Amino acid sequence: MSKGNKLLDFIENDINNYSSNHSNNNHDNNNNDSNNNRKWNLMNAISIGKILSSSLGVNGGDKMIIDQNGSIQVTNDGWTIMKSLSRQSNNYGQSNRDSLLSNDQQQDNNDNNNNQQDDYDDNENNDRFNSKSSYNRLRMQSVIEMIINCCSDHNSAFGDGTTTIVVLIGAMCQSVLQLMEERSIHRSIIIKAFKDTLRKALSLLDSWSVSLQIPFIQQEQEQQLEQERSTTTTTTTTTTTTKNITLQDIGECCLNSKSISYWKKELTTLCIDAAHWLYKQEKEDNKIKQHEEEEDGNIFSNNNNSNNSSSRSYGLELDLNLIRLLKIENGSIEDTKLIRGIVMKRYLASESMPKTLTDVKVAVLSFPLEIPTPVNRYTLNLTADDMTEMVESINRQHQAFVQKIKSIGVGLIVCQWGIDPAVLQLLSNERIAALTWVGGDEIERIAMATGATISWSFESLSPEQLGHVQSVSEQVMDNDNTRYLFLEGGKHNRSPIQTMLIRGGSEQMCRELEECTKDCLNVLANTIRNPKLLVGGGVTELQLYSALSMSIDNNNNNSNDCKDNINNNDIEYEMSMKAWCSSLLSIPSSLIENTGMLDGTDVLWKLIQAHEKQGVGCTLGANLYYGTSLDSKQQDQIIDLSASKVYELLDQKKSILTLATETICLITRIDSFIITK
């Protein structure tokens, strides 16, 4: 928890008010403790869902987050908000931030964080968790951590949708609380009904999805379909495709609710360029691996791999870790660009070395270019001639270093260890650039970007181990004259390593742009992996509500024909299924509320009636830009969101519904707390 976290105090007060208003509803002393614990958990999740519901959608509000150091962050990103509620908030995403820092900077930051955390634990946690409400606060924090862990899995896979998950969890908890308090339905019936309804909803989503045609892999898709038709005699199922939706539209759609939405077109173009390049390189790598397997005679494994690849779609699992995001402040957002290569916050080992090189061969060394210092102390009696001979021997060894490096055509040396100053001077005279004391992660990344093989000894260094870059340049950026080294391009290799240079006028702008870039890259990567879409903006939830409610009513009518078979469990089961369906309406309801429509309830009711009347093909939804656009066409409260190109991923929606349902089932099962010392 951050210092002075008033948001948690608000949640606790909200729960206490609810408990005081409903304290006389339950007089059963046998299950009083378990019911109170269960209610407390549900009310915790309800309060968190209410807080994040105001940040959902294009017109969602921002939250100002102030950490224990006084740093301010303004954001509407659900994952960032949930991290601020966690007691382990400093651990989430710390590795990503530290990857841009040197080892000394990381150690200083770790020491400062440890000291601050110790002071905070002594001064704040003792007062907070040793107070009268320490037990309640600990229970509340435990529920928050459960929801954060649920959102963490989804955020790492998709990068977006955390707010929707939390809002759905809150709405489902509200439904469970009403079923248990007002209808006295047992939790086992509720859990079974929720899981069964989820299973039906997922099958409906698969049948409603449409496929996106991606231009740079459409040709490969057609080739795969022709191969499947020629090799199999079974009938192939036809899937609906969208011809008016592009990958650009999907990327821009995920940025509509961000503060940098005015620059969404340019940012999406950069992210598509990065994803396209990464796709091509990984596709070529897979072809090389398949060719090597064929040469090795692995026929059976090759056939299995080809069958698996064709069955899981024509897309690939893109490794986004190959794209490094580097933030540089005191610039314009328009200066953000994509680099085919590496950008490092480093400078060359000597000021006399050339600052700009083209068509450069790169040697990546994991050994020092200096005479090792003796570990043990020795007493040597040397004469003047002996000293002269020793100095000449050292100089000859240095000359041998440089001569071999020059003979194989090296233009840039990247060394994991140190280089002797005399060797650096000789390298400068030969116009050879050098980097020293490069970390292990960076040196592996440079080797991948240049196509070089890391050399472990001077004797093993050969021309075959050299890499290549098109240009090497040292540039001064930022207002404090910070120097950055650029390694760009490569004619002889096609590396997937890329760097997205994030520019902004302030730290807050750079941080927001970095989060938006991550979200866009994740959405594009998942679209390439499985390009199946659903209409967004709450339309999918309305479709599920109408279809599932109609199915439940039909089953209820059929069961009424034979009243002898009806029992209370069946009625409670159907009520629980309808409660799950009603929870889905929290998404369109929150979107309508955040748009500022005065008659939001009437708009939601009109949408429900339209979907019930038109059926699955209805794509009507609330106008997310109502009241904020000067376009006369955007003044209608209800519009066709498919025509507005508002789409979301099928896999993402299925993950949201699954995680929300599993989390609410887990919370509902808890009836007591055991605190260990």
The reply to whether 480 falls in a domain is yes
Tokens of 350: 């000597």
Check residue 565 and report its DSSP letter.
G
Please state the φ and ψ torsions of residue 216, each to the nearest 5 degrees.
-75, -5
The reply to whether 549 falls in a domain is yes
Q: Which residue type does 188 have?
A: S
- 45 plus 150 within the same structural domain: yes
The reply to whether 258 falls in a domain is no
The Cα–Cα gap between 321 and 134 comes to 41
- Tell me the percentage of the chain whose pLDDT exceeds 70: 76
Which pairs from 118-127 meet CB under 8 Å and 24+ separation? 120/3, 120/68, 124/3, 124/4
pLDDT value of position 99: 39
Q: Which residue type does 405 have?
A: I
- 504 plus 640 within the same structural domain: no
Angle between helices 162-181 and 650-669 (to 10 degrees): 40
Where does the pLDDT of residue 103 fall: very low under 50, low under 70, confident under 90, or very high at 90 and above? very low
Model confidence at 490: pLDDT above 80: no
Check residue 25 and report its DSSP letter.
S
Check residue 66 and report its DSSP letter.
E
Which stretches does DSSP call E strand in 394-466? 412-415, 433-435
Alpha helices in 561-649 (DSSP H): 568-584, 586-595, 600-614
> Residue 16: helix, strand or coil by DSSP?
helix
Helix and strand element counts for the chain (H, E): 22, 17
Candidate ranges 507-511, 635-639, 664-668; pick with highest mean pLDDT: 664-668
- 505 plus 565 within the same structural domain: no
Bridge-partner residues for 621, per DSSP?
639
* Mean pLDDT (the chain, rounded): 81
Angle between helices 586-595 and 162-181 (to 10 degrees): 120
Tokens of 44: 């915790």
Model confidence at 67: pLDDT above 90: no
Q: What DSSP string describes 210-262?
A: EEE--HHHHHHHHHHHHHHHHH--SPPPP--EESS--HHHHHHHTTTTSTTGG
The Cα–Cα gap between 403 and 353 comes to 17
- Contact yes or no for 51/78 (Cβ under 8 A): no
- 633 plus 522 within the same structural domain: no
- Contact yes or no for 484/230 (Cβ under 8 A): no
The Cα–Cα gap between 434 and 446 comes to 13
Tokens of 586: 């929290």
pLDDT value of position 343: 93
Return the residue matching tokens 């998950």: 165
pLDDT value of position 310: 38
> Residue 674: helix, strand or coil by DSSP?
coil
- 510 plus 540 within the same structural domain: no
The Cα–Cα gap between 566 and 468 comes to 76
Structure confidence by residue, pLDDT tens digits, 578-634: 999 999 999 999 999 988 887 888 999 999 999 999 988 899 998 887 766 666 656
The reply to whether 50 falls in a domain is yes
228-237, 473-482, 639-648, range with the lowest pLDDT:
228-237
The Cα–Cα gap between 229 and 147 comes to 46
Query: Which of 466, 495, 529 is at the close of a domain?
Result: 529
Bridge-partner residues for 485, per DSSP?
344, 474
Q: Which residue type does 141 have?
A: Q
- 515 plus 540 within the same structural domain: no
Query: Which of 529, 562, 596 is at the close of a domain?
Result: 529
Query: Which of 476, 503, 529 is at the close of a domain?
Result: 529
Q: Which residue type does 227 have?
A: Q
Structure confidence by residue, pLDDT tens digits, 508-558: 889 889 989 999 999 999 999 989 999 999 999 999 999 999 988 887 766
pLDDT value of position 230: 60
- 75 plus 188 within the same structural domain: yes
Kindly report the number of other CB atoms within 10 A of residue 610's CB atom.
16
Angle between helices 187-208 and 539-560 (to 10 degrees): 120
Question: How far lies 195's CA from each of 42, 162, 189, 202, in Å?
Answer: 18, 21, 10, 11
Structure confidence by residue, pLDDT tens digits, 241-300: 666 788 999 999 989 888 888 899 999 999 999 999 998 888 877 776 766 666 666 544
Please state the φ and ψ torsions of residue 317, each to the nearest 5 degrees.
-85, 100
pLDDT value of position 446: 93
Q: Which residues contact 151 (CB under 8 A, 6 or more apart)?
A: 78, 79, 82, 162, 165, 166, 659
Nearest CA-CA partner of 438 in 94, 105, 95, 102: 102
Please state the φ and ψ torsions of residue 40, each to the nearest 5 degrees.
-65, -45
Return the ∠ at Cα 427 (arms to 421 and 428), rounded to 5°: 90
> Residue 358: helix, strand or coil by DSSP?
strand
Which stretches does DSSP call E strand in 3-151? 63-66, 72-75
Q: Which residues contact 367 (CB under 8 A, 6 or more apart)?
A: 415, 416, 417, 455, 456, 457, 458
- 335 plus 468 within the same structural domain: yes
- 506 plus 556 within the same structural domain: no
Please state the φ and ψ torsions of residue 391, each to the nearest 5 degrees.
-65, -40
Bridge-partner residues for 533, per DSSP?
210, 649
The reply to whether 317 falls in a domain is no
Tokens of 511: 């941080």
The reply to whether 610 falls in a domain is yes
Model confidence at 498: pLDDT above 80: yes
Number of domains in the chain: 2
The reply to whether 447 falls in a domain is yes
The reply to whether 142 falls in a domain is yes
Supply the CATH number for residue 454's domain: 3.50.7.10
Task: Kindly tell me the sign of the dihedral angle through the C-alpha atoms of 65, 71, 72, 78.
Answer: negative
Tokens of 460: 């093993």
Task: Kindly tell me the sign of the dihedral angle through the C-alpha atoms of 25, 30, 36, 39.
Answer: negative
> Residue 549: helix, strand or coil by DSSP?
helix
Nearest CA-CA partner of 176 in 676, 666, 536: 666
> Residue 200: helix, strand or coil by DSSP?
helix
Question: How far lies 38's CA from each of 141, 446, 665, in Å?
Answer: 14, 53, 11
Model confidence at 181: pLDDT above 80: yes
- Contact yes or no for 573/193 (Cβ under 8 A): yes
- 349 plus 495 within the same structural domain: yes
Candidate ranges 203-217, 309-323, 483-497; pick with highest mean pLDDT: 203-217
Supply the CATH number for residue 20's domain: 1.10.560.10
Which residues constitute the domain of residue 118? 6-207+536-669
- 437 plus 476 within the same structural domain: yes
- 80 plus 201 within the same structural domain: yes
